[in-house]
């Protein structure tokens, strides 16, 4: 890998380098996880003429885990927070989260890094630090040093410990990968040609159906397309799927022989007394907006005895092991210390108060439920709580 950033040797970088060299299995594990995506990422970086070291940022950010979610609400391999995602054009809704979309998030992250590079007048270390902690914080640190007559280079700034470690961590990785033999580290070669390609299905498609057309395992396809939260692509788009190059031709040929209406399954649902669109949508793992659109309904009112046409998954929902629902269920079922309780969110609830009630850290509750402490709780939402509090009962019933 031809690298471009200046590689100083200082105690901060040496400390981070020592950590990586003490954990060769970590580098091996991360390199294997990132292997499918590296050519795509490097190609986009080269296309823009950016430093190739930026291709290593997903290691520092998420260990190349496209499903990573942090306590600060950052998501995806590039760990993009909601506001930054919106700012750089990434859709985030019930069906789809562009922050986890490998191709879309890579371009958004590089857009942001280019913006930061320009904002900090060509200083890449300032830009990389700001990617971690925000341009405002880095800008204020620079201004403070300048006012005090101190140097304004990255190494002289007063920044949070996470950010002070972040930049040397990236540079340490770059030094190791520049000469892996010197450090007795094995790093896979980046393919000279594309291994993945984007294919536009032009309409909503069930991921299980797409996997069948491509002759792939469902999990394999979903891992390449982690932006999709549910069993299908977003009915309103994007309908792009990232596929292995050797599967794309077969997929496109098979897809051309299907109609858009065949790409998801349908049920004819008879409305019962007491039903409402929200309940029906939740039961069928879809949204009110989709049901309204499919059935040409302009309001939320429905009548018992009438029928609704509803798109549904071709397989049992448990088969979609990388959907948001399945990943949450897996996280909530992990055994931890204490007694397991279920808390049903009531009006006015927040993580802090719930934590006090069960005498557990509010950040732990968020983590156990695949959330961040600042995420909004929904009325009726079920939270799994592990408490050592004697006699604690399930709350909210």
The set of catalytic residues is: 61
Q: At what angle do helices 245-256 and 207-214 cross, to 10 degrees?
A: 110
- Nearest alpha-carbon partner for 312 in 334, 345, 280, 341: 280
Two tokens at 338?
Answer: 């204490």
Which contacts qualify for 266-269: CB closer than 8 Å, 24 or more apart? 266/309, 266/310, 266/311, 266/312, 267/309, 267/310, 267/312, 268/307, 268/308, 268/309, 269/307, 269/308, 269/309, 269/310
Q: Which helix (H) or strand (E) holds 58?
A: helix 57-62
Max CA distance (Å), the chain: 77
DSSP conformation class of 38: H
SS3 state of residue 284: coil
Two tokens at 310?
Answer: 């509803």
Other C-beta atoms closer than 10 Å to the C-beta of 247 total 20
Backbone phi, then psi, for 49, in 5-degree steps? 70, 35
Q: Is 113 exposed, middle or buried (0-12, 13-18, 19+ CB in 10 A)?
A: buried
| Cα separations in angstroms, 298 against 15, 195, 291, 294, 305 | 61, 45, 10, 11, 18
Q: Calculate the dihedral angle through the C-alpha atoms of 296, 301, 306, 311, rounding to the nearest 10 degrees.
A: 50
Distance between CA atoms of residues 170 and 58, nearest Å: 10
Distance between CA atoms of residues 96 and 226, nearest Å: 9
Q: At what angle do helices 135-147 and 124-133 cross, to 10 degrees?
A: 130
Distance between CA atoms of residues 158 and 38, nearest Å: 33
């Amino acid at each position: 890998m031809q690298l471009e950033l200046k590689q100083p040797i200082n105690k901060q970088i040496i400390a981070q380098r020592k950590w990586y060299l003490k954990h060769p299995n970590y580098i091996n594990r991360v390199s294997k996880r990132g292997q499918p995506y590296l050519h795509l990422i490097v190609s986009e970086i080269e296309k823009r003429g950016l430093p190739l070291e930026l291709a290593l940022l997903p290691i520092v950010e998420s260990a190349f885990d496209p499903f990573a979610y942090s306590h600060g609400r950052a998501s995806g391999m590039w760990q993009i927070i909601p506001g930054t995602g919106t700012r750089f054009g990434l859709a985030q809704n019930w069906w789809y989260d562009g922050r986890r979309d490998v191709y879309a998030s890579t371009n958004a992250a590089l857009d942001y890094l280019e913006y930061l590079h320009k904002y900090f007048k060509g200083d890449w270390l300032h830009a990389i630090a700001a990617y971690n902690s925000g341009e405002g914080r880095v800008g204020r640190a620079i201004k403070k040093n300048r006012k005090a007559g101190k140097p304004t280079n990255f190494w002289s700034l007063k920044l949070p410990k996470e950010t002070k470690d972040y930049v040397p961590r990236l540079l340490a990785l770059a030094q190791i990968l520049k000469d892996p033999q010197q450090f007795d580290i094995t790093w896979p070669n980046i393919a000279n040609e594309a291994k993945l390609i984007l294919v536009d299905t032009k309409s909503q498609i069930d991921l299980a159906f797409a996997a069948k057309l491509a002759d792939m395992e469902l999990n394999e396809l979903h891992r390449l397309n982690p932006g999709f939260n549910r069993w299908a692509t977003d009915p309103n788009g994007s309908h792009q799927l990232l596929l292995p190059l050797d599967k794309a031709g077969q997929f496109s040929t098979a897809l051309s022989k299907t109609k858009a209406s065949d790409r998801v399954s349908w049920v004819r649902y008879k409305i019962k007394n007491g039903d409402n669109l929200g309940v029906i949508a939740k039961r069928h793992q879809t949204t009110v907006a989709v049901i309204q659109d499919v059935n040409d309904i302009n309001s939320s009112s429905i009548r018992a005895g009438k029928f609704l046409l509803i798109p549904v998954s071709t397989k049992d929902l448990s088969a979609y092991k990388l959907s948001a629902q399945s990943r949450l269920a897996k996280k909530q079922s992990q055994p931890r210390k204490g007694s397991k309780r279920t808390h049903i969110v009531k009006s006015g609830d927040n993580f802090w108060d719930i934590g006090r009630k069960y005498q557990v850290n509010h950040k732990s509750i968020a983590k156990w439920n695949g959330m961040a402490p600042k995420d909004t709780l929904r009325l009726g939402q079920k939270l799994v709580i592990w408490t050592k509090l004697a006699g604690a009962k399930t709350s909210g019933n």
